[in-house]
Amino acid sequence: AQTVTQSQPEMSVQEAETVTLSCTYDTSENNYYLFWYKQPPSRQMILVIRQEAYKQQNATENRFSVNFQKAAKSFSLKISDSQLGDTAMYFCAFMKRPGGGNEKLTFGTGTRLTIIP
Amino acid sequence: SQTIHQWPATLVQPVGSPLSLECTVEGTSNPNLYWYRQAAGRGLQLLFYSVGIGQISSEVPQNLSASRPQDRQFILSSKKLLLSDSGFYLCAAGGNQPQHFGDGTRLSIL
């Protein structure tokens, strides 16, 4: 079974600064996907970024980037030039490579990020 | 693009009452569908998933059940709610990663 660990329950950073959220995972799988989801106060779950384990290049989406260390089973999220709208809970999630029709997500417990004006 | 509708947005129910939460999906066919529950301050726990009409798999033993009467409809039910059923329920659709989520239903049990 897979486990996902987020060791930072809460973080805060000044607006425009850079912040890094940590995530580690445990799996015996070799092919899988990793995701970061954002959940603002509205509670909607929004996909931020995804990484395919077989790709060595780190994924980037505008101000969001990841540092994927497969051997260390680490998947951190970096938010650059943070904005007030980035305030949210952030969840790291793991999914085995699709096959057989069941792509279950395993979530970490989340990090509550607050951007301070 | 996919759109996932959930209703109601909020629900307050007494202990022992029945429950029916509905999720419908637009913009895709034959999706894999999922029900997750999020307890206060916690991560998401997968409750059920479905790979097709009438096909339901349960992830954890519980007081709830799920059904998929149509390709893009997923229903979460209970005959008698417990206090421990309180939480935030999210429906998700996948089949080709990543999963997309609905806006959720906040369920409070009195």
Q: Residue B55: pLDDT band by 50, 70, 90 thresholds?
A: very high
**In chain B, what residues touch A44 (CB-CB under 8 Å)?**
101, 103-104
- Residue B110: partners with Cβ closer than 8 Å, 6 or more residues away: B12, B13, B14, B15
| A100 has pLDDT over 80 | no
Residue ranges and CATH numbers for the domains of chain B are: 3-109 (2.60.40.10)
Q: Among B33, B56, B57, B101, which would you mutate to test the A interface (most chain A Cβ atoms within 10 Å of its Cβ)? A: B101
Q: Residue A40: pLDDT band by 50, 70, 90 thresholds?
A: very high
Mean pLDDT of B52-78: 92
Residue ranges and CATH numbers for the domains of chain A are: 3-111 (2.60.40.10)
Mean pLDDT of B86-95: 90
- Considering only residues A80 and B42, tell me which one the structure prediction assigns the higher pLDDT: A80
Assign 3-class secondary structure to chain B.
CCEEEEECCEEEECCCCCEEEEEEEECCCCCEEEEEEECCCCCEEEEEEEEECCEEEECCCCCCEEEEEECCEEEEEECCCCHHHCEEEEEEEECCCCCEECCCEEEEEC
Q: Among B35, B36, B97, B108, which would you mutate to test the A interface (most chain A Cβ atoms within 10 Å of its Cβ)? A: B97
